[in-house]
Amino acid sequence: MKNFGIKFLLSLPFTIGSVVLIVLHQPLYAAIAGLLAFVLNLKEVKDYSSYFQFINFRVHTLTLGYALDMLQGDGTYWYTACMFASSFAGVLRLELFDIMLVERMVWVEVFGIVSMYGLYVYANLQHPAQWAGWALPAFPLVFMTFIGSGIAMARGKYDKIREHKKKEEGSVLGQLAPTFTLDDMEGKKVSLTDFTNKNHVLLIFVRGDWCPTCHIMIREYERNSSKFMEKSIVPIGISPDTTEVNKSMMERLGWKNMLLSDIKQEVASKYGILFFESSGEAKYEQGVALPASFLIDKSGVVRYMSRSDRAGEFLSPNLIFPVIETLS
């Protein structure tokens, strides 16, 4: 599975350069290099979000802060602390999503945003690093605020989703799975009944290529593809986007299984996961599907479905493994 792309590779020289420039006692240029590395690296987080990106993020944000502390020269580390706090606002939950999911430790983003701005203002008022102290951290802090507030908004949406799903929860589990026929990336028709008495099927619903959380979900399931193969399970992704968009997404994310286009979202509706509220990131006439997974055995019975009352459960294939062990 592909873990990084060209922008990550382009960011590396700036990350390494920022470290070298610190060693050479060129703090202003080191801070600028750290900022450029941040800009290049953030463009890939949506598509990859692997530990390559996270480690790179840690290095260039800390070198940016440390370089500013060198520039002001009084031996304090307020800018470094500011940039470290920014990780709580934006990327810590992505790094530890299996543990934190969406709804756990809700204080983390608030703590990160309040801390990083408090440290930012204090550092510039009490330990100023010339114009660079105000200017260079500004964009990373604004971007981390955007990420943190986006997570908070997603949490609010999940509260609405829970209410939406209460009436439908469990309506599919243990029942025969609704059948469907959709186009794959090559335009070929694929039906759920094609796998009856041949393979178990793992349906993975994604909200669309615009959804970074869905990208994380796809990568998590791809990482565990060998475990699914051992049990004759065929993972099938279902997206509301066109075959062209799906093909591009698969190539970027390294998804080697089928991805079908449910443009009218009729299949999402059959499985009870169509949420009738438009997303701020993308507009679909029928609404927005909830990210979800369904495990269907060879006889066509739904043996597992991710729970809507635990936002983020769909991201963890580990929860499916106990059910997989019962399949023959």
Q: Work out the angle at residue 247's Cα, subtended by the Cα atoms of residues 242 and 252, and round it to the nearest 5 degrees.
A: 130
Q: Is residue 100 predicted with pLDDT exceeding 60? A: yes
- Judged against a pLDDT cut of 90, whether residue 17 lies above it is answered with yes
| Mean pLDDT of the region 318-322 | 77
Question: Quick check: 172 and 183 in contact, CB under 8 A?
Answer: no
Residue 291: partners with Cβ closer than 8 Å, 6 or more residues away: 205, 206, 207, 211, 213, 214, 217, 314, 315
Mean pLDDT of 220-238: 88
Q: 39-95, pLDDT tens digit by residue?
A: 988 766 655 556 677 788 889 999 999 999 999 999 999 999 999 999 888 778 777
CA distances from 32 to 6, 38, 282 (A): 20, 10, 34
| Rounded Cα–Cα distance for residues 68 and 53 (Å) | 23
Q: What is the pLDDT of residues 126-174, one digit of tens each?
A: 999 989 999 999 999 998 898 877 766 665 555 555 555 544 444 677 8
Q: In the chain, what's the furthest Cα-to-Cα distance?
A: 72
Identify which of 24-28, 40-44, 270-274 has the greatest average pLDDT.
24-28
pTM: 0.64
